[in-house]
Chains A and B, each alone.
Chain A
Amino acid sequence: MELRKSYFADQRKDGLHEIGQGRPRLDSPGHVTGKTAYFADRNFPNMLHLKMVRSPHHHARIRSIDTSEAEKHPGVVKILTAKDVPHNVYTILILIQIGPEDETVLADGKVRWKGEAVVAVLAETERAAQEAAAKIKVDYEVLPAVFDMEEALKPGAPLVNEYHGQNYYLYDSGECRKVRFGDVEAGFAEADHILEQSYQSSPIEHAPTETTGCVVVPEGNDRFTCYTNTQAMFFTLDNASIILQMPGSKLHFVGGTVGGGFGGKVDVIVEPIAILGAKLTGRPVCFIYSREEEMQISSPRAAEKVVIKDGVMKDGRIVARKVTGYTDAGAYSRHSPYGAQKGAAHYPGPYTIPNVWIDTYCVYTNRTPSSAMRGFGVTIGDFALEVQMDKLARLIGMDPLEFRFINAYRDGDMKAHRQPTEGAALIECMQEASRAADWPVAEKFMAMSSYTKGA
Chain B
Amino acid sequence: MAIRRGRGVAAINYPTGMNLGGDPTQALVHSTPTGNFMVTLSSVDLGQGLKQIMAQICAETIGVPTDRVIIDTADTDTGPHCMGTFASRGTHRAGNAVIQAAKEARQVMLEVAAEELEVNASDLETDGEGNILVKGAPQKSISIFDVALSAHFKRGRSISGRGMFLIPRSYPEKETGAMKPSTCYAHACTVAEVEVDDETGEVTVLTVKNIFEIGRALNPRMVEQQLVGGSWMGISHALYETTEPYYPNRDHGGTDFNQYLMPGPGDLAETEIIVLERPSADGPYGAKGPGEMCANPQIPAVANAVFDAVGVRIDTLPITPERILRALKAQSAN
Contacts and interface: CB of A to CB of B under 8 A. Distances in A.
The reply, when asked whether chain A contacts chain B directly with Cβ atoms under 8 A, is yes
Interface of A: 1-5, 7-8, 11-13, 16-27, 58, 96, 114, 147-149, 172-174, 177-181, 197-205, 207, 230-235, 237, 251-263, 265-266, 291-292, 295-296, 300, 303, 338, 341-342, 344-346, 349-350, 358, 365, 367-368, 372, 374-380, 382-387, 389-391, 400-401, 404, 408-409, 416-419, 422-426, 428-430, 432-433, 436-437, 439, 450
B100 to A, nearest CB: 16
A357 B48 CA distance: 36
A18 B273 contact: no
A374 B233 contact: yes
A387 B211 CA distance: 18
A3 B275 contact: yes
Given A147-B248, A202-B317, A432-B189, A177 B213 contact: no
A7 B178 contact: no
Contact of A207 (B55, B212, B257): B257
A149 B244 CA distance: 15
Query: Which 6 pairs, one residue from A and one from B, show the smallest C-beta to C-beta distance?
Result: A256-B74, A232-B84, A179-B177, A17-B128, A386-B300, A202-B247
Contacts of A400: 8-9, 304
B209 interface: yes
A263 B86 contact: yes
Contacts of A428: 187, 213, 276, 278
Given A25-B222, A291-B256, A418-B178, A382 B74 contact: no
14 contacts: A8-B277, A23-B56, A114-B250, A204-B237, A204-B242, A232-B85, A234-B84, A254-B74, A296-B243, A303-B244, A386-B299, A417-B177, A417-B178, A450-B278
Nearest to B287: A19
Contact of A2 (B219, B237, B273): B273
B191 A433 contact: yes
Contacts of A237: 76
A374 B86 CA distance: 8
Given A18-B60, A350-B11, A252 B315 contact: no
Nearest to A226: B76
Interface stretch (B39-47, B103-111, B160-168): B39-47
A260 B47 contact: yes
A258 B44 contact: yes
Nearest to B49: A25
A294 B130 CA distance: 46
B12 A345 contact: no
A16 B287 CA distance: 14
A292 B315 contact: no
B55 A26 contact: yes
Interface string B42-77: 111111010110011101100101110001011111
Given A204-B243, A387-B303, A424-B185, 16 more contacts: A20-B217, A23-B52, A149-B248, A207-B260, A234-B42, A295-B253, A342-B15, A358-B177, A367-B248, A378-B15, A386-B303, A390-B303, A417-B180, A423-B280, A433-B211, A439-B191
Of B44, B87, B176, B281, chain A has the most CB atoms within 10 Å of the CB of B44
B56 A18 contact: yes
Most chain B CB inside 10 Å of its own CB: which residue of A18, A230, A387, A416: A18
B296 A342 contact: no
B181 A345 contact: yes
A19 B43 contact: no
A426 B71 contact: no
Contacts of A8: 276-279
Contacts of B7: 437, 439
A232 B179 contact: no
Contacts of B280: 423
B51 A26 contact: yes
B94 to A, nearest CB: 11
A234 B242 contact: no
Nearest to B62: A18
B28 interface: no
A96 B22 contact: yes
B332 interface: no
Interface size for chain B: under 10, 10 to 19, 20 to 34, or 35 or more residues? 35 or more
Contact of A436 (B191, B216, B222, B242): B191
Interface of B: 7-15, 19-20, 22, 42-47, 49, 51-52, 55-57, 59-60, 63, 65-67, 71, 73-77, 79, 81-87, 128-129, 172, 174-182, 184-185, 187-191, 209, 211-213, 216-224, 227-228, 230, 233, 237-238, 241-245, 247-250, 253-257, 260, 262, 272-281, 285-286, 291-293, 295-297, 299-301, 303-304, 307, 313, 315-318
A433 B300 contact: no
Contacts of A425: 187, 213, 276, 278
A383 B304 CA distance: 10
B184 A386 contact: no
Contacts of A232: 44, 82-86
Contacts of B222: 22, 25
A21 B219 CA distance: 5
A374 B74 contact: no
Contacts of B56: 18-19, 21, 23
Contacts of A263: 86
A383 B181 CA distance: 20
Given A197-B315, A296-B255, A345-B181, A233 B82 contact: yes
Contact of A19 (B84, B177, B285): B285
A258 B11 CA distance: 31
Contacts of A296: 243, 253-255
A178 B176 CA distance: 7
A231 B175 contact: no
Contact of A292 (B82, B187, B256): B256
A429 B14 CA distance: 13
A386 B248 CA distance: 24
Contact of A233 (B74, B179, B228): B74
A250 to B, nearest CB: 11
Given A3-B217, A350-B12, A408-B11, A18 B59 contact: yes
Nearest to A230: B44
B273 to A, nearest CB: 4
A408 B256 CA distance: 42
Residue of B11, B209, B279 with most chain A CB atoms under a 10 A cut-off: B11
Contacts of A367: 244, 248, 250
Contact of A375 (B66, B244, B296, B301): B296
Contact of A429 (B60, B262, B276): B276
Contacts of A266: 84, 86
B270 to A, nearest CB: 12
A229 B63 CA distance: 33
